[in-house]
Amino acid sequence: MLSLILTCFEPTLSEAKRQEGVVRSLASLVPFVVEGIVADAALIGPHGAGLEAIADEAGCALIEAAEAVQGLDAALARARFSNVLLLSAGYAVQPGFGDAARELLAFGGFAQARVLRLEPNSVLTRLSPAFAEPVGVLATKEALLSAGSASPGAIVRRLRPAEIFATARRAV
């Protein structure tokens, strides 16, 4: 099973857009909660982001912090499972994520972190999906702690994860 950590630190989003992005990201994961792939969830966001009601309604822990990396450290300490899906709010995982995550969990594929990228949205990313923006990371708690960042892009640069053959789409 996976513990979900949803990062809500996108500075360019208004409070309403941030909240909508969180709701849409969580909604995309409901089928995987039902299937038993995602077991618990935590939202990490800045103080006063208005995420309390969403976290309460969704049954998620809410961790407010001044910096994303502080929130990630606290969320990793609370995560129930050693395998973690770190996802940026505002992105919704595609249905193929379930099969890919199930295979990783069944065959011990977390020895190396995996990157979840934005679905191809240009000619370049259609020809070479590795150029698509990283929006999520599947990794162990220890790997995420060693990365020293809460940004999927920075984590990818530090951990050099393998690809997961699933994508996410922009939800807001």
Residue 78: give the domain boundaries: 2-170
The pLDDT of residue 120 is 82
Range with the poorest average pLDDT among 9-13, 30-34, 97-101, 103-107 = 9-13
> Mean per-residue pLDDT for 92-108?
90
pLDDT digit string, tens, across residues 70-92: 999 999 999 999 999 999 999 99
Write out the two tokens for 17.
Answer: 């857009």
Closest CA to 72 of 152, 16, 169: 152
> Mean per-residue pLDDT for 92-107?
90
b/e map of 45-57 (b: 16 or more CB within 10 Å)? bbeebebeebbee
Looking at the chain, the whole-number percentage of residues with pLDDT higher than 70 is 100
The pLDDT of residue 12 is 73
The pLDDT of residue 6 is 96
- CATH number of the domain where residue 109 is located: 3.90.550.10
Give the pLDDT band of residue 34 (cuts 50, 70, 90): very high
Residue with tokens 């996410």: 168
pLDDT digit string, tens, across residues 110-137: 889 999 998 888 888 788 878 888 999 9
Number of domains the chain contains: 1
Q: Determine contact, residues 41/3, Cβ cutoff 8 Å.
A: yes
What pTM does this model have?
A: 0.91
The pLDDT of residue 68 is 92
